Homo-oligomer: A and B are copies of this chain.
Amino acid sequence: MNPKIKWLRDKIARLDMQGMIISNPLNIKYLLNIDAEGVLLLTRKENIYITDSRYIEHVNTILTIDDDIIVWNVTDVSQDDYENFFMFCENVGFEENYVTYAKYKEYMHKYKINNLVETENLIEKQRIIKDTEEIEKIKKACNITDNCFEYLKTYIKKGMTEIQIAKAIENYFLENGADGIAFDTIVASGENSSMPHAVPTNRKISSGDIITIDMGCKYKGYCSDMTRTIFVEYVQEYIKPIYDLVLTEQKKVQKELKEGITTKTISKIVEVDFKQKNKDLIHALGHSIGLEVHEEPILSSRAPEIMIKENMVFANEPGIYISGKFGVRIEDTILINKDNCESLTKSDKEYCIIQG
């Protein structure tokens, strides 16, 4: 049997559930590595994936006999079949954070289930720890992102707009093996860089500009996330202390983030250091990365506290924003190893001054 399905069956058995309905396509992608629309049922004896004719061929290409999954075409499933799937099941789990209230009621009725019980993100929690294959995919996404940054260093010229640069990034990803972007690319120049979630505009790049570039791609479904703050022709003096502070803290996180520290403690380190310089960490220090670019846990003193463990993957992204003037953010995608953490995005973080 597919080892992730085996894990899930053991897990729900320990929670006194005799079955589970998995509807979130990202959880299904995680468990079975298929990109399709459908629903996965773990019944007492079988693992059943119900999809439609558009996806049957793709699904049968990916799944092997060893996966031990029975694939049904939705048009072949009768009401009797639905009622039989969970017959004699006392408790059947479902994804209460994905399934709408209307769908919940539909499931109760269609499958004739007595107890549809909440599973408290149990698959999402397992997704926090990455396996070798997942790490390889994230590494590849990070590698494409690094190469894109190298390309940008010579591509960006004065007179170009933020939108133009953002498009060039997205084209680069598509033309260099990525599935696509992991999130809307941020290119924020001059005073626009003071907004952490700036949307690219038609503002033209000029000499002396600071440019924050926050970009990431997907490779086989897995995301990268990297930010570099760069300069056009020269670095304005008033920016340097802020840049140096952000970079120092980003490297400090890289040094301190390892198995055994908590999400809250690591965030507090940066918050306290920023505070000493009269600055605030206005967004989270980071977040888990995987099939989604923003996953839990969040590296923040305000989010639920989680112990950092080996094979977690995070964004490490401290930033300082001077309202209406400029902002600096430096971000890497990092992998937690046993005794240290490893940056999976490897682009240089020292002052990058492009010749426009």
- Kindly state whether residue A60 has any CB partner on chain B within 8 Å: no
Q: Which residues of B sit under 8 angstroms from A118, Cβ to Cβ?
A: 101-102
Q: A residues 88-133 with Cβ under 8 Å of B?
A: 94, 96-102, 104-105, 118
Residues B98 and A100 in contact, CB atoms below 8 Å apart: yes
| A102 CB contact (under 8 Å) in B97, B105, B167, B197 | B97
The chain B residue with its CB closest to the CB of A175 is B163
Q: A residues 64-107 with Cβ under 8 Å of B?
A: 94, 96-102, 104-105
| A97 CB contact (under 8 Å) in B94, B100, B163 | B100
Report the bound CA distance from A104 to B98 in whole Å.
12
The interface bits of chain A over 233-274 (1 if a CB of B lies within 8 angstroms of the residue's CB, else 0) are 000000000000000000000000000000000000000000
| Closest CB in chain B relative to A30 CB, distance in Å | 19
Q: Which residues of B sit under 8 angstroms from A104, Cβ to Cβ?
A: 101
Report the bound CA distance from A105 to B101 in whole Å.
9
Residues A54 and B101 in contact, CB atoms below 8 Å apart: no
| A197 CB contact (under 8 Å) in B54, B96, B98, B99 | B54
| A99 CB contact (under 8 Å) in B54, B100, B163 | B100
| Closest CB in chain B relative to A20 CB, distance in Å | 14
Residues B100 and A100 in contact, CB atoms below 8 Å apart: yes
Q: A residues 25-58 with Cβ under 8 Å of B?
A: 54
Q: Which residues of B sit under 8 angstroms from A102, Cβ to Cβ?
A: 96-97, 118
The chain B residue with its CB closest to the CB of A104 is B101
Q: Which residues of B sit under 8 angstroms from A100, Cβ to Cβ?
A: 96-101
Report the bound CA distance from A88 to B105 in whole Å.
27
Report the bound CA distance from A167 to B173 in whole Å.
14
Q: Which residues of B sit under 8 angstroms from A99, Cβ to Cβ?
A: 100-101
| Closest CB in chain B relative to A119 CB, distance in Å | 11
Report the bound CA distance from A280 to B332 in whole Å.
53
The chain B residue with its CB closest to the CB of A170 is B167
Q: Which residues of B sit under 8 angstroms from A163, Cβ to Cβ?
A: 174
Q: A residues 219-242 with Cβ under 8 Å of B?
A: none
The interface bits of chain A over 163-177 (1 if a CB of B lies within 8 angstroms of the residue's CB, else 0) are 100010001001000
**17 further interface pairs, Cβ-Cβ under 8 Å (given A54-B197, A94-B101, A101-B101):** A96-B100, A96-B101, A96-B102, A96-B105, A97-B100, A97-B101, A97-B102, A98-B100, A99-B100, A99-B101, A100-B100, A100-B101, A101-B104, A101-B118, A102-B118, A163-B174, A167-B171
CB-based closest 3 A-B pairs: A96-B102, A96-B101, A101-B104
The contact sample of 6 A-B pairs, CB cut-off 8 A, is: A54-B197, A96-B100, A97-B100, A97-B102, A98-B100, A167-B171
